[in-house]
C-alpha cells in the first residue's frame, strides 16, 4: 500500500513538473517581429511611369511613408524619375505619381532597400491598394495582391508561362 501511494505521489509530482514546463514554454515563447528595414545611407531610386495610354511625360513623384508623411519629391520627366531617399528612411515607403495634366494618381510600394528600380503603372497601383486592404504593405500582402492582380486568359488556366514575381517589385513585368 505504501508503495502504491508513494508511486502515485511520484507520478503526480512528475506530471506537474511536465505540465509546468509546458506552461512555461508557452508563456516564454515570443513572436519574432518583422525586421526593421531602412535605408542605411542616402539612395537613389529610379524608374518609369506609364498608364494605360502610354508613358506619363510630366508629373510629380511624391515619396511618403505608409501614413502619408512626406519624405521627399521629384519631377517626372518624359516618363522617368530619379529621386534620392534620405539615409535612415524606414520602409515601406510609397512612390506616388501625380500626372500633369491632372489624372489618376499612380502608386508603387518600396519594401526593400536593396531594390532601386521601379515601374509605376496601373498594375502597381492596384497591387498597392489591394495590399493595403489586406492589412498593410507587407511582403505577404504584396505577394497575395500581385497574385490576385495577374490575369490569366480563359484559354490558358494553367500557370504555364508564369515567371515568378509578376512585376518588377510589384510594378511591371520583368
Q: Is residue 168 part of a domain?
A: no
Q: Is residue 111 part of a domain?
A: yes
The pLDDT tens digits for 62-121 are: 999 999 999 999 999 999 999 999 999 999 999 999 999 888 999 999 999 999 999 999
Q: Is residue 123 part of a domain?
A: yes
Query: What's the confidence (pLDDT) of residue 135?
Result: 95
Among 8-12, 52-56, 135-139, the range scoring the smallest mean pLDDT is 8-12
Residue 128 CB contacts under 8 Å (≥ 6 apart), including other chains = 94, 107, 108, 109, 137, 145, 170
- For the record, the C-alpha cell of 62 comes out as 511624391
The CATH number that applies at residue 63 is 2.60.40.1120
Into how many domains does the chain fold? 1
Q: Is residue 124 part of a domain?
A: yes
Q: Is residue 113 part of a domain?
A: yes
Owning domain of residue 48: 43-149
Amino acid at each position: 500500500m505504501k508503495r502504491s501511494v508513494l508511486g502515485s505521489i511520484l507520478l503526480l509530482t512528475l506530471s506537474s513538473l511536465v505540465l509546468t514546463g509546458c506552461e512555461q514554454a508557452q508563456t516564454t515563447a515570443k513572436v519574432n517581429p518583422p525586421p526593421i528595414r531602412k535605408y542605411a545611407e542616402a539612395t537613389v531610386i529610379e524608374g518609369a511611369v506609364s498608364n494605360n495610354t502610354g508613358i506619363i511625360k510630366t508629373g510629380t513623384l511624391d515619396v511618403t511613408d505608409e501614413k502619408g508623411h512626406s519624405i521627399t519629391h521629384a519631377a517626372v520627366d518624359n516618363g522617368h524619375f530619379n529621386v534620392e531617399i534620405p539615409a535612415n528612411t524606414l520602409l515601406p515607403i510609397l512612390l506616388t505619381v501625380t500626372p500633369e495634366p491632372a489624372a489618376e494618381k499612380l502608386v508603387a510600394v518600396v519594401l526593400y532597400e536593396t531594390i532601386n528600380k521601379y515601374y509605376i503603372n496601373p498594375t502597381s497601383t492596384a497591387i498597392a491598394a489591394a495590399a493595403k486592404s489586406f492589412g498593410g504593405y507587407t511582403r505577404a500582402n504584396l505577394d497575395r495582391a500581385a497574385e490576385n492582380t495577374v490575369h490569366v486568359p480563359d484559354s490558358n488556366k494553367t500557370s504555364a508561362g508564369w515567371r515568378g514575381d509578376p512585376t518588377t517589385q510589384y510594378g511591371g513585368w520583368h
